Amino acid sequence: MLAVLMMASALVFAGARAAVADPTCELVETADGKLIYQCSETTPGEDGSSGGNGNGGGGSTKPACDLDGIKERFPGADEWYCQGQDACWVNNPTVEYPEPESWPEEPPSEGAVYVYKSCYAPDGTETFGDYTWYTGPEDEGPSIEELALQAFGALETPGFSLAHSPPRNSIIFIDTWWWADGPSNGEISSGAALGVVAIGTPSHIEVDPGDGSGVMTCDFVTSESDACSYTYDRAGDYTSRGRLVYDVHFEQGGSPLDIAGLPDSLESGWQESTITVAESQAVVVP
């Protein structure tokens, strides 16, 4: 019965962690001038049980996933454990082995064994099912959520400058065009964190003309066009600013990951540009 289920792809490091709460991410500048996101996470504790007769109740702990459910579904497995929000089972040793030439060349650590492992999300969807090196849940490795946050932290937005036309002086009541000069319209991606990759898809740019009107949202414009335009109604010298915004999703071994609480967007730092807006003057020719 279990041998029939031994299909799928991707390689993930075995681990058991508590479910991750909403991550906190901040944009920081590295020593070489690059802008990257650094993320931290908090793991909420379970509510303590109520006390009786004035005595404080003791804190109760629960598995981060539904172990009872997976034990009922796969009673013949050798081990069951939580990996973040996913419930996993392992055959150790496995019932069957793939062809030796498809095994990884080197084990990740001494004592690792090659097993079949399967993990399921809370909604019952299989998130992993394949042969992999295994050292046991007691040797905690990063959870899927932690790997995704690592990948997100390594995601970098491309450099750009905020350009506008006219390039120097604009005129009131005449459209000024804006665009991000430098980046392409393609996706950006991070390096893989044990098979988990963060991918950013261009969403839009945000431009603040600098005259107090606020930030406007435009298409992801990277060349001169009228797709992102604004009309000043007051002359003056202004400092405008703009940034890139990407939609973010995660993949593991080429397959999409859908995990609640992970960041779903990435913004670049603001880039500033000065612009002088003048009043138009009529020239009377006799």
Chain-centroid distance of CA 242 in Å reads 22
Contact 53, 120 (CB under 8 A): no
> Is pLDDT above 60 for 167?
yes
Instruction: State the pLDDT at residue 234.
Output: 95
Closest by Cα among 95, 60, 48 to 76: 95
User: Cα angle vertex 76, ends 70, 82, to 5°?
Assistant: 35
Least confident of 14-23, 65-74, 245-254, 255-264: 14-23
pLDDT digits (tens, 9 = 90+) for 101-126: 666 667 667 777 878 888 888 888 88
> Is pLDDT above 60 for 199?
yes
Instruction: State the pLDDT at residue 15.
Output: 32
Backbone phi and psi for residue 113, each to the nearest 5 degrees, phi listed first: -120, 155
Res. 168 pLDDT band, cuts 50 70 90: confident
> Is pLDDT above 80 for 56?
no
Prediction pTM value: 0.55
Is the model more confident about 116 or about 272?
A: 272
Which helix (H) or strand (E) segment is 207 a member of? strand 196-208
pLDDT digits (tens, 9 = 90+) for 226-243: 999 999 999 999 999 999
CATH superfamily, domain 161-278, is Immunoglobulins (2.60.40.10)
Task: Locate the domains of the chain by residue range.
Answer: 2-53+63-153, 161-278
- Count how many Cα atoms sit within 13 Å of the Cα of residue 172 in the half-sphere of its side chain: 11
Closest by Cα among 279, 168, 179, 256 to 223: 179
